[in-house]
């Protein structure tokens, strides 16, 4: 496959990924977790067992870890929008990788065009 064809194919891939990224409607950074914690009261049922179930989202903000309790009605919504954020980040990394390959291919293409131009006229040829 020629360099030009490779560049065109990469641009199509990039456009497809960008379209997928822009179609994401809602997203939040963070991770949904279900954790068990003991409340510490000696007369509570959790004292002898695994603890109370807490549903929460954890994220980083200004270099600090944050946690927020999630109501049971919002669990599926939180899972969806945190999943959307992970998908967004994954697609963003894919675009960055494609741009690195594209940069290399453009460098090769420029070198080939310069060499072709030099063969037509010898103004800048090394002698």
pLDDT in tens, 17-71: 999 999 999 999 999 999 888 777 878 877 777 788 889 999 999 999 999 999 9
> Nearest-CA neighbor of 32 among 78, 73, 66?
78
Distances in Å between the alpha carbon of 28 and those of 9, 33, 65, 83? 32, 14, 14, 8
Domain ranges of the chain: 3-120
In terms of pLDDT, which residue wins out, 95 or 52? 95
Tokens of 27: 């997203």
β-strand 52-61 against 31-37: which pairing, if any? antiparallel
Q: What is the pTM of this model?
A: 0.75
Size of the chain in residues:
127
Q: How far is CA 11 from the centre of its chain?
A: 19
């Amino acid at each position: 496959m020629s360099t030009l064809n490779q560049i065109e194919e990469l641009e199509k891939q990039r456009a497809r990924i960008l379209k997928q990224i822009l179609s994401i409607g809602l997203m939040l950074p963070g991770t949904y977790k279900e954790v068990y914690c003991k409340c510490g009261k000696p007369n509570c049922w959790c004292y002898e067992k695994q603890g109370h179930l807490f549903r929460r989202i954890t994220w980083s903000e200004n270099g600090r870890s944050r946690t927020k309790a999630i109501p049971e009605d919002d669990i599926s919504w939180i899972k969806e929008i945190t999943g959307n954020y992970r998908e967004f980040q994954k697609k963003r990394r894919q675009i960055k990788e494609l741009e690195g390959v594209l940069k290399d291919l453009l460098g090769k293409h420029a070198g080939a065009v310069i060499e072709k131009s030099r063969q037509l006229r010898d103004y800048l040829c090394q002698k």
